[in-house]
């Protein structure tokens, strides 16, 4: 009896391993990202997923990034290599410990402080945000036009993009006005760029005429 408990059957062991692997896969980041900053972002995503607080951690990280952007003092604290690791870790705990942030966010920031990686904070947060967008099925798209587009024009372009990316994806659309393109549109969808501007056609004609 005791030996059967201590030595589970191959079938039972296989079932345990299968369940464990399925659990790990459920919390795996939806994108493959690489680099030192990505390692921290991936670990944070996995920890937040296991704790079922992915959106909460995203909200906290975006708040930290906004604070760094709007506060030169805080950004200087993150970047200053002359502040010791211990003092940086202590400073992070003082700033975030009483702010009711999740343990996942606090652990990330104190780990960065202890490893002298706080200058990577913004890049790590951008990567975490990228992972969250992938989880939500979001694709960022930017429309560049010579003049502001009307709502009807935006709706038409958005519908065309939706057909291209698929019904299971959500297009997060932003616009930019750039008079130098003269007319037409430039469209950025993820890592793809489509140039339908008048300026590019003029350049193409100029090259052909030479």
pLDDT digits (tens, 9 = 90+) for 68-116: 999 999 999 999 999 999 999 999 999 887 778 999 999 999 999 999 9
For 124-146, the pLDDT digits (tens) are: 999 999 999 888 888 778 888 88
Evaluate whether 121 touches 64 at the Cβ level (below 8 Å): yes
Beta strands, E only, the chain: 138-145, 170-177, 184-189, 192-197
Give residue 210's pLDDT.
45
Q: Which two tokens stand for residue 61?
A: 């990280």
**pLDDT over threshold 50, residue 65:** yes
Q: Which of 18-27, 46-55, 141-150 has the lowest mean pLDDT?
A: 18-27
Pick the most confident of 51-55, 141-145, 190-194: 51-55
Evaluate whether 187 touches 140 at the Cβ level (below 8 Å): no
- Say how far apart CA 121 and CA 101 lie, in whole Å: 16
pTM of the model: 0.69
Average pLDDT over all residues of the chain: 82
**pLDDT over threshold 60, residue 67:** yes
Give residue 138's pLDDT.
81
For residues 163, 165, 170, 175, the Cα torsion angle rounded to the nearest 10 degrees is -80
Evaluate whether 125 touches 44 at the Cβ level (below 8 Å): no
Q: Which residue has the higher pLDDT, 135 or 22?
A: 135
For 146-159, the pLDDT digits (tens) are: 888 888 888 887 78
């Amino acid at each position: 009896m005791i030996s059967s408990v201590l030595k589970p059957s191959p079938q039972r062991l296989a079932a345990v391993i299968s369940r464990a692997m399925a659990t790990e896969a459920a919390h795996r980041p939806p994108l493959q990202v690489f680099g030192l900053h990505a390692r921290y972002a991936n670990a944070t995503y996995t920890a937040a997923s296991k704790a079922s607080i992915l959106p909460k951690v995203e909200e906290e990280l975006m708040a930290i990034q906004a604070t760094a952007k709007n506060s030169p003092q805080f950004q200087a604290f993150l970047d200053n290599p002359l502040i010791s690791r211990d003092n940086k870790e202590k400073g992070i705990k003082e700033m975030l410990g009483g702010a009711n942030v999740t343990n996942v966010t606090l652990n990330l920031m104190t780990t960065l402080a202890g490893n002298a990686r706080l200058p990577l904070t913004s890049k790590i947060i951008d990567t975490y945000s990228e992972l969250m967008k992938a989880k939500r099925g979001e694709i960022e798209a930017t429309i560049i036009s010579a003049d502001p587009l009307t709502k009807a024009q935006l709706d038409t372009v958005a519908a065309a993009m939706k057909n291209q990316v698929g019904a299971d994806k959500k297009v997060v659309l932003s616009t930019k006005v750039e008079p130098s393109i003269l007319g037409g549109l430039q469209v950025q969808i993820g890592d793809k760029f489509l140039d339908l501007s008048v300026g590019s056609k003029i350049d193409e004609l100029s090259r052909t005429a030479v």
